[in-house]
Amino acid sequence: MDHMTRIRVKIGEIEAEVSGSEEFVREHGTELLHEFSKRAPDAVVPSVASKEEVVDNLTRQLKHPSEHSNLFEIDGTSVRVLSHIPGSLEAEKQVNAALLYLLGLSSQGALDGRYSGIRDLCTDHGISLNHFAGNIRDEKNAFIVTGTGTGKDPTIRLTTPGKTRARELSQQIEAAG
Per the CB < 8 A criterion, the answer to whether 52 and 26 are in contact is yes
Q: How far is CA 35 from the centre of its chain?
A: 20
The pLDDT, as a whole number, for residue 71 is 79
Model confidence, pTM = 0.63
Q: How confident is the model at residue 153 (pLDDT cuts 50, 70, 90)?
A: confident
pLDDT digits (tens, 9 = 90+) for 56-70: 555 554 444 445 557
Q: How many CA atoms lie within 13 A of 54 on its CB side?
A: 24
CATH topology of domain 72-176: Arc Repressor Mutant, subunit A (1.10.10)
The full set of domain ranges for the chain reads: 4-63, 72-176
